Structure 1
Amino acid sequence: MSNIHRNYKASILLVEDEENLQESLKLNLELEGYEVTAVDNGLAALKAIKNEYFDLIILDIMLPEMDGIAVAENIRLQNNDVPILFLSARNTSADRVLGLRKGGDDYMTKPFNLEELLLRVEKLIIKNKKLHDRSSVPDVYEFGPNKIDFAAQECIGKDGKKYELSKKETMLLKLLIENKGEVVPREKILQVVWGYNVYPTTRTIDNFILNFRKYFEEDSRHPKYFHSVRGVGYKFTDGKES
Structure 2
Amino acid sequence: MIRILLAEDDQVMREYLTRALERSGYAVSAVDRGTAAIPLLETERFDLLLTDIVMPEMDGIELAQRCAEIAPDTRVMFITGFAAVTLKAGRTMPEARVLSKPFHLRDLVLEIDRMFEIERMSGGK
Give the superposition deviation at 1:125. 2.4
CA distance in 1, matches of 2:49, 2:114: 13
Structure 1 match to 2:90 = 100
Structure 2 match to 1:82 = 74
Whether contact under 8 Å (2:86, 2:98) holds in the other structure is yes
**Which one of 13, 17, 33 corresponds to residue 25 of structure 2?**
33
Whether contact under 8 Å (1:10, 1:55) holds in the other structure is yes
Give the superposition deviation at 1:101. 3.0
Change (3 A) 1:61 1:127: farther
Where structure 1 has 5 or more consecutive residues not aligned to the other structure, the ranges are: 1-8, 134-242
Give the superposition deviation at 1:100. 2.5
Q: Percent identity?
A: 33
CA distance in 1, matches of 2:27, 2:53: 22
Report the 3-state secondary structure (helix = DSSP H, G, I; strand = E; otherwise coil) of the residue aligned with 1:121: helix
Change (3 A) 1:97 1:30: same
CA distance in 2, matches of 1:109, 1:53: 26
Structure 1 match to 2:100 = 109
Change (3 A) 1:129 1:73: farther
Q: How many residues align?
A: 122
Whose relative contact order is higher, 1 or 2, with alpha carbons under 8 Å and at least 6 apart? Answer: 2
CA distance in 1, matches of 2:86, 2:78: 9
More helix, by proportion? 2
CA distance in 1, matches of 2:118, 2:81: 26
**Which one of 55, 59, 70 corresponds to residue 67 of structure 1?**
59
Give the superposition deviation at 1:123. 1.1
Give the superposition deviation at 1:80. 1.0
Report the 3-state secondary structure (helix = DSSP H, G, I; strand = E; otherwise coil) of the residue aligned with 1:87: strand
CA distance in 1, matches of 2:46, 2:68: 14
Change (3 A) 1:115 1:106: same
Change (3 A) 1:79 1:51: closer
Change (3 A) 1:84 1:128: farther
CA distance in 1, matches of 2:69, 2:119: 18
Tell which structure's C-alpha radius of gyration is larger.
1
The one-letter amino acid of 2:61's match is I
CA distance in 1, matches of 2:52, 2:24: 20
> CA-atom RMSD, angstroms?
2.0
CA distance in 1, matches of 2:56, 2:79: 15
Structure 2 match to 1:51 = 43
